Amino acid sequence: MPKQARARYEDTKRTRDTGLKVAAVFGGWWRELTCLALLAAAWGYLASVVGDVLSSVVLGVVLAAALGWAPARQAILGEAWKARQRRRWARSMVRTGLANPPARASREHRSVTGPRATKVRRVPVGEELIVKAPPGHSMEPVVKKLGRVTADLKAREVRVMPDSSGNARKARVLVVRTDPFATEESLPWPWLDKDRVSSEEPIPLGITELGEPFSVRIIDRHTLIGGNTGAGKSVGFRLFAAGFALDPDRELWTFDGKAVGFGPWEACARHTVGMSQVDAAIKMKELVRIVDERYALLKSEGTDMLTPEMIAAGHKRIGVLIDELNFFLEERDEKTSKNAVREFTSRWTDVLERGRAAGITVACASQIPYAEIVPSRARNLFWYAIAFASRSPQASDTILGQGMAAQGFNAQTIRTPGVAWVATERDIERVRFFHLTGDQAKQIASRATGHRLDADLATLTEAST
Ligand SMILES: Nc1ncnc2c1ncn2[C@@H]1O[C@H](COP(=O)(O)OP(=O)(O)O)[C@@H](O)[C@H]1O
Ligand SMILES: [Mg+2]
């Protein structure tokens, strides 16, 4: 190449590279740059009509007015904040290797290979982004590198949730910066002074991270609670017990593998089982018998659910509470234990499976419901899975489901007693549970027992006259 041509070529290349570098730096800033360009154009136009000075004055007044008027200022600052969050996400994708850096030798001024933040919203715990993967990609690589992304965003936690649109290329990413549950705090149960509740009323369990009330519709839905010792299982379980006890249309059956937890409920419970695997198997058999009877009744009446008439005729709903579930599911060396556990397990699974139509609701609490102990057939029959603080992501997953911890739903990160992930088939929330103390439970239990005795007495008097 002749010397002159070469110099010309180098020159053009240098100019183009500089242009690309500028574009690479400013690519994420196009909104701000467009605004500046528009302002400059407006100034130029005005200047040509009314002169430089007046043009500057007019634009200055307009700008001052826009910044002085709160709604406009908030809108402008809000947009600037959103743009900053998008840039931060894009930078984080490049740094964690999830996106290529802008190619210097191409005309691309920003990476098109990585997941992009399309929408940004401020939420009480931090930021919520709608992130879109490039065509032909999913959000899986982000989930795999979530730890690094979290560190790069300097966040406390990052959670990846499916987008409500059902588009697998998109995800809702929650960047958690503050923990509203960091301090230990006792929230009183809103139903403390209730005299009675109906089976249909959802039981209030606690408040969500957004400060909203959270309750569970337990009618014909089963619950599995897991977590470390001291994480808040038994306190959370009391809410179920109290909810069942306050419902005059419901019988209470309690099983406790530690034999201390259900003290206050014993008087109002129809049946109580303590630390005996054999007794537990026998009582489960009785429940299976009730299920069989009720199925026969439903069939003869031509319905598929317990009706109010049947309940009034004495076929009450049943709330089954099993604390320390592992005790009843773990075979010990003796033959009696082996037989009892096998019988208990199959009957318990049967009650979980068929209890729904027969008006039987089961709530179980267990330290870590390991896969070897809780059969997967039974596990899939729980509508609510509640994970209090757990020792490892694997332990958390045994309660909430495989792969949940990797997506940021990890009970290992919970440090406060009484805080748990509550998952259903549809969604998952972090909840601070209400704290129903032992004494309060005693009061509710004695009130509920009184009502039950009154009702029994009334039936007896009615029968004898
Ligand atoms: N919802 C809650 N709010 C405040 N403190 C709680 C809550 N739940 C539990 N705690 C505290 O944690 C302690 C242990 O709770 P507990 O339910 O007995 O744990 P676990 O049954 O999981 O071993 C309680 O005595 C209480 O001090
Ligand atoms: Mg306990």
Ligand 2 mean position, distance from CA 151 (Å): 35
Q: For the chain, list the domains and their CATH numbers.
A: 203-457 (3.40.50.300)
**Phi, psi torsion values for 65, nearest 5 degrees:** -65, -45
pLDDT in tens, the chain (465 residues): 567 777 777 776 666 556 555 555 556 777 888 888 999 999 999 999 888 899 999 999 998 998 889 899 999 899 999 999 998 998 898 888 888 776 555 444 444 568 989 999 998 889 999 999 988 888 889 999 999 999 999 999 899 988 888 888 999 999 999 888 877 788 999 999 998 898 889 999 999 988 889 999 988 899 999 999 999 998 999 999 999 999 988 999 999 988 755 678 888 888 999 899 999 999 999 999 999 999 999 999 998 888 888 988 889 999 999 999 999 999 888 999 999 999 999 999 999 999 988 999 999 998 877 777 788 888 889 999 999 999 999 999 999 988 899 988 999 999 899 999 999 878 899 999 999 999 999 999 999 888 888 777 777 777 676
Among protein residues, the one with the nearest Cα to ligand 1's atom 27 is 417
Q: Ligand 1 atom closest to Cα of 434? A: 1
Best of 234, 235, 323 to mutate for ligand 1, by most ligand atoms within 8 A of CB? 235
Alpha-carbon Rg of the chain, whole angstroms? 31
Please provide the distance, in angstroms rounded to a whole number, between the alpha carbons at the two ends of the chain.
120
Among protein residues, the one with the nearest Cα to ligand 1's atom 15 is 232
List, as one string, the DSSP characters of 359-425.
TEEEEEEES---TTTS-HHHHTT-SEEEEES-SSHHHHHHHH-TTTGGGT--GGG--STTEEEEE-S
Ligand 1 mean position, distance from CA 224 (Å): 17
Among protein residues, the one with the nearest Cα to ligand 1's atom 20 is 230
Q: Ligand 1 atom closest to Cα of 419? A: 1
What residues flank ligand 1, with Cβ below 6 Å? Answer: 186, 227, 229-235, 388, 417-418, 433, 435
Q: Ligand 1 atom closest to Cα of 187? A: 3
Q: Ligand 1 atom closest to Cα of 433? A: 1
Tens of pLDDT, residues 373-418:
788 888 889 999 999 999 999 999 999 988 899 988 999 999 899 9
List, as one string, the DSSP characters of 409-465.
--GGG--STTEEEEE-SS-EEEEEEP---HHHHHHHHHHHHHHHHHHHHHHHHHHH-
Q: Are the beta carbons of 333 and 265 closer than 8 angstroms?
A: no
Ligand 2 mean position, distance from CA 235 (Å): 7
pTM to 2 decimal places: 0.78
The arrangement of strands across the sheet holding 126-132 comes to 116-123, 126-132, 170-176, 157-162
* Ligand nearest to the CA of residue 258, numbered in listed order: 2
* Ligand nearest to the CA of residue 389, numbered in listed order: 1
Among protein residues, the one with the nearest Cα to ligand 1's atom 16 is 232
Q: Residue 185 corresponds to which tokens in the numbers above? A: 């705090």
Q: Are the beta carbons of 137 and 98 closer than 8 angstroms?
A: no
Tens of pLDDT, residues 211-228:
889 999 988 899 999 999
Using CA atoms, how far apart are residues 4 and 10, in angstroms rounded to an integer? Answer: 10
